[in-house]
Structure 1
Amino acid sequence: MSAPTLEELFTLRIEVGDPVDLGPAPDGHRRMVPITGGTLDGPGGLTGRVLPGGADHQVLTPGFALLDAQYVVETAAGERLSVHNRGVRSGDPADMAALARGEEVDPARVYFRCTPRLSSAAPAWAWVTGRVFVADAHRHPRRVDVRVFTVL
């Protein structure tokens, strides 16, 4: 067997609103971050947008965050894809606290990887339901950049 390879599918620039703080729980501090919009860009001129109305449910601890986001993207051709994206963001506790406060942190100092699950009723995108995807991501104060790859 050979190791899987990756092929870039698209990059999302996801705009986020102010976190809704749900408070401390036994497994970490919980909050929900609303997804307010964004853009999609990919190889071959693929473009689109992130629809408002999604959310990222988070569990924060001093050194890492568990993320569980659900949202919809729409291509310029009007094809919609459902995204359920689970991820892990980890780093130095001071950097993680700065991110939680909405501050900019050098992406090189933070490990941020995720596993998007995609599905679509659009015939051109039906294939995504039967594939595995991975992504690297960077958190900025008002957006998250997510570069999605198909695992071949």
Structure 2
Amino acid sequence: MAPDSTPLPPALDYAGTLSVLIAEPIDVGPTPEGHRRIIPITGGTVTGPRFTGRVLAGGADFQTLHSPELTQLEARYAIETEDGAVISVDNAALRSGSTDAMARLLAGEPVDLAEIYFRCAVRLRTSAAEWEWMNRTLFVGSGERYPDRVVVHLFAVA
């Protein structure tokens, strides 16, 4: 690369969409780090060109509301592919928007996707040999929050 040339960004390869079903939030309340909430994960689906399957119940999304405009999310759960492989999901995300839009979102009301910034970095890990490529791949995604689920469009960083 010549010293005056601009580096090219890595390509993104659409891997699939996770539709993660959620239960009512558990409100921990204000803590020294921010307002904490735990959102139980109850199931869901995975559909896409790189893998399909289902989201297993038992995970959770651990949220820190840093301000009325900014929430940090750390979701951990598992998915099972159609061929029976189990994949661990660690999803670190930021969700932000205006005070009004975020308040409506937290109240479980529908909010126009254009009003919310929701991006994530996702690590997938598995012991299944046929899915080992996931252990060596970084993923990024864009998220959407609905009253009963979170949708994450997942892209492999090439």
Q: Same fold (TM over 0.5)?
A: yes
Pair 1:52 & 2:66 matched: no
Structure 2 portions without partners, runs of 5+:
1-6
TM-score calculated relative to the size of structure 2: 0.92
Aligned to 2:110: 104
> Which structure: larger Rg?
2
The C-alpha deviation readout for 1:45-98, integer Å capped at 9, x for no partner, is x42100000000001120010000000011111111100000000000111111
Mapped to 1, the partners of 2:9 and 2:122 lie a distance apart of 20
The C-alpha deviation readout for 1:20-56, integer Å capped at 9, x for no partner, is 0000112321010000000000116x42100000000
Mapped to 2, the partners of 1:47 and 1:6 lie a distance apart of 18
Mapped to 1, the partners of 2:108 and 2:129 lie a distance apart of 39
Aligned to 1:85: 91
Q: Helix, strand or coil: the match of 1:30?
A: strand
Q: Shift in Å at residue 126 of structure 1?
A: 0.8
Mapped to 2, the partners of 1:59 and 1:97 lie a distance apart of 14
Match of 2:40 among 34, 41, 47: 34
Aligned to 1:7: 13
Aligned to 1:134: 140
Count of residue correspondences: 151
Letter in 2 for 1:51: L
TM-score calculated relative to the size of structure 1: 0.96
Mapped to 2, the partners of 1:66 and 1:93 lie a distance apart of 15
Mapped to 1, the partners of 2:56 and 2:49 lie a distance apart of 20
Mapped to 2, the partners of 1:27 and 1:63 lie a distance apart of 15
Pair 1:65 & 2:47 matched: no
Letter in 2 for 1:26: P
Segment of structure 1 superposing worse, 127-136 or 81-90: 127-136
Letter in 2 for 1:136: S
Identity of aligned residues (%): 47
Mapped to 1, the partners of 2:75 and 2:59 lie a distance apart of 7
